[in-house]
Amino acid sequence: MKKLTEQTTYTTPERSGTWLGRLLPTQYFYYKIFMIVLKASRKSKRGHYNDEEWVNSSINCIWALEAIGGKFALEHADFYNKLNSACVFIGNHMSVLETFVLPCLIQPFRPVTFVVKESLIEYPFFKHVMRSRKPVVVGRTNPREDLKTVLQEGQKRLEAGISSVIFPQTTRDIVFDPAKFNSLGVKLAKRSNVPVVPIALKTDAWGLGQKHKDLGKIDPSKTVHICFGDPMQVQGSGKEAHQSIVEFIQRKLDSWGR
């Protein structure tokens, strides 16, 4: 935990992982993730899954990927030093890994939840965990209704000191397309008068499945990159802030060799 949160950067130490993880990376990783979610689900159903448990589960997900030889590269982990309030975290969305990993990087410093699609709170086992985090839930079928929900429910959480993580893309995608990156997060921040913090994410080590999008191949040869940007206040219409976020994500993805 200290390595992840008390340094400006974090890079997975050079090591080979476990022998079983190297032999069967996808199977071994999913087994580890399933056990993490199962344990968290049981505690959530009993009302015992608190913020500390959520952070621990998140750290265990990082260890699970490192155990198969995967690597993490974290930049600007001290973003919270420039925050004086709750905020809206806005990032691109490559894989489900982001939902598992980001809690341990944010929650210890700022109470946080996610804006999630409705189907995510219906997943077996995982639904109990996600519901315990009191997320903002959208249907992804009616953009107008989703906007209303995010602005109203998101503002309630921000006023209570709880930050929100928003992935403005309509679906997970390896390719970052600014045309599909809406300004919902910027609108929420402007309405609530809180800063936005951009997050650039390269998490394609957890691949997208063909039959089931969440169950793709795990490729430990692909480094997971996460970089937080500086907080910025939304001015005027918010177009400038939105463009700055898009440019930040594009610049980082290019530097990582997307």
Q: 80 is in which domain, residue-wise?
A: 2-255
Looking at residue 228, the DSSP 8-state letter turns out to be: E
> What separation in angstroms does the CA of 183 have from each of 56, 190, 207, 214?
32, 11, 26, 25
pLDDT at 2: 62
> What separation in angstroms does the CA of 173 have from each of 166, 202, 222, 257, 258?
15, 11, 16, 16, 12
pLDDT at 258: 65
Split into its structural domains, the chain has a count of 1
Burial degree of 49 (CB within 10 A; 0-12, 13-18, 19+): buried
> What separation in angstroms does the CA of 225 have from each of 30, 125, 199, 212?
20, 28, 10, 24
* Single pTM value for the model: 0.93
pLDDT tens for the chain, 258 residues long, are 666 666 678 888 887 678 888 899 999 999 999 999 999 999 999 999 999 999 999 999 999 999 999 999 999 988 888 999 999 999 999 999 999 999 999 999 999 999 988 887 888 778 899 999 999 998 767 778 888 999 999 999 999 999 999 999 878 888 899 999 999 999 999 999 999 999 999 999 998 777 777 778 999 999 999 999 999 999 999 999 999 999 999 999 999 986
Q: For position 101, which CATH number holds? A: 3.40.1130
Nearest to 170 by CA among 156, 180, 184: 180
- Alpha-carbon dihedral sign for residues 24, 27, 31, 32: positive
If DSSP codes are grouped into helix, strand and coil, which group holds residue 132? helix
